[in-house]
Amino acid sequence: MGNAQGNTGDMAAGNLRVVPIIISFVVAGFIGLFSETALNMALTNLIENFGIHETTAQWLTTGYLLTLGILVPVSGLIMQWFTTRQLFNTALIASIIGTFIAAIAPSFEVLMAARVVQAIGTALLLPLMFNTILLIIPPHKRGRIMGVIGLVIMFAPAVGPTISGLIINNLTWHWIFWISLPLLIGALIFGWFFMQNVTTPTKPKIDILSILLSTIGFGGIVYGFSSAGEGGGWGSTTVIASIVIGGIALALFSVRQIKMKQPMLNLRAFKYPMFTIGLLLILVCMMVLLSTMILLPLYLQTSLALTTFAAGLLLLPGGIINGILSPVMGGLFDKYGPKWLVTIGILILTGAMIGFSTITLETSTAFIIMYHIITMIGISMVMMPAQTNGLNQLPPELYPDGTAIMNTLQQVAGAIGTAVAISILSSGAEGFMNTVEDKANPLNPLLAFTEGVQDAFIFAIIMAIIGFVISLFIKRVKVEHQM
């Protein structure tokens, strides 16, 4: 790929205003990621309003992730064609247009289209944010700064359900977007004045075949997993065909990237073991986190019959604690490295998933709050230390590729986690209803739904155990390359 160190202008002259640049990304990232989970709390309302099934409603999340999965791999290339300011402004404008369309959406189809436009903004913003941080922050300070970024990335989705629950309790779901809109416009204005260019576009050759294979590969896999919850389930022709075609396209894409002198996505990043281990840990965390973030609101509103606002409030303490802990974990990482943080964090996360797998119709709200807090503590101990440690091992010229690979596969893992959780929930509930004699009893659908949720959390336990095994191999990276 092009040289990430070829930074002239502001960066070479030493005129970088680091704090305003980070603030620009933090504000824009918070609003963008808030909308990623804000709609989860509105799913029950949307299912009723639009007359759709929960497996169709999940497309508002998985469709968003599908778009990210298609666009983020190309981000490494895009970052070498355009300046930091151009990409930041474009990302914000796309987010604003998508948010406005969502705010006025009269149907599920229009809302779905709006989510895709929003995702285009996020797909440009996230890799740009990580790449910029790696370029402007020296390695020994990255843990703390990544912790602040982690605060945004984890805190925004965590408080999304609470804020949207409050909104839905008093207004319609459209207001989730109306409230986000002025904040996004404010972020664009702030960035317009304070964002600076940290890279010089090198404009490498665009390989159309690589883009096509990447799109079919990542898109096919995300689409296949996301379709599993609908229709014929995992055995359907659509699901199998999508995953197989996606897998073949990804294999061809990988071979092509390795053979090219100037690959679109430099897979040589995988030669660095701590990058690969960090990536695998992040993928496990994303699958566990996003499956939990879609299961809990559905369980709270369906099985426990809570209002959207009450359900949102239950998830708030965990979100706040996660936000507070992210910078703290970043500081601990800078001081002590990732080993104990990550291993203990994964154990804590596993314990939380075991707790959630025992929930019933009688489960107390205190139990949910406590285990959600434990989940968020575990996530904060794993995500940022694993990510920062992995990226630190890469030489600067691989930063755009490393951030693109991590962000792409996070979205793919998130989509897979969401889809698998929803399909296990659906099949578990269906299996329960097939065994009961009195199908007219109104209690049975609730019992069936709760059993489906329990089954879905067993999937999360398995993923967390895999994460624990991977965590045993993590070591602190000694950064030898200079900025």
Q: Residue 339 above 60 pLDDT? A: yes
Percent of the chain with pLDDT over 90: 12
* Residue 139 per-residue DSSP state: G
Q: What pLDDT is attached to residue 249? A: 92
> How many CB atoms neighbour CB 290 within 10 A?
27
Reported as a pLDDT band with limits 50, 70 and 90, residue 9 is very low
Contact assessment for residue 406 and residue 363, using Cβ atoms and an 8 Å cutoff: no
| Euclidean distance between CA atoms 299 and 305, whole angstroms | 8
Lowest mean pLDDT among 128-137, 172-181, 197-206: 197-206
81-108 pLDDT per residue, tens: 888 788 888 888 998 999 899 888 888 8
Read off the pTM.
0.77
Stretch 193-222: mean pLDDT, rounded?
79
Per residue, what are the HEC states of 213-240?
Answer: HHHHHHHHHHHHHHHCCCCCHHHCHHHH
Contact assessment for residue 150 and residue 126, using Cβ atoms and an 8 Å cutoff: no
| Residue partners of 433: CB distance under 8 A and separation at least 6 | 439, 444, 445, 448
448-475 pLDDT per residue, tens: 888 888 888 998 999 999 999 999 888 8
256-298 pLDDT per residue, tens: 888 887 777 788 888 889 999 999 999 998 889 888 887 888 8
Q: What pLDDT is attached to residue 479? A: 65
Residue ranges and CATH numbers for the domains of the chain are: 18-471 (1.20.1250.20)
Q: Residue 230 above 70 pLDDT? A: no
Q: Across the chain, what does the average pLDDT equal? A: 80
| Euclidean distance between CA atoms 202 and 465, whole angstroms | 43
Let me know if 15 is exposed, middle or buried by CB neighbors in 10 A (0-12, 13-18, 19+).
exposed
Question: What are the tokens at 367?
Answer: 């139990």
Contact assessment for residue 278 and residue 446, using Cβ atoms and an 8 Å cutoff: no
Q: Which residue has the tokens 């336990």?
A: 461
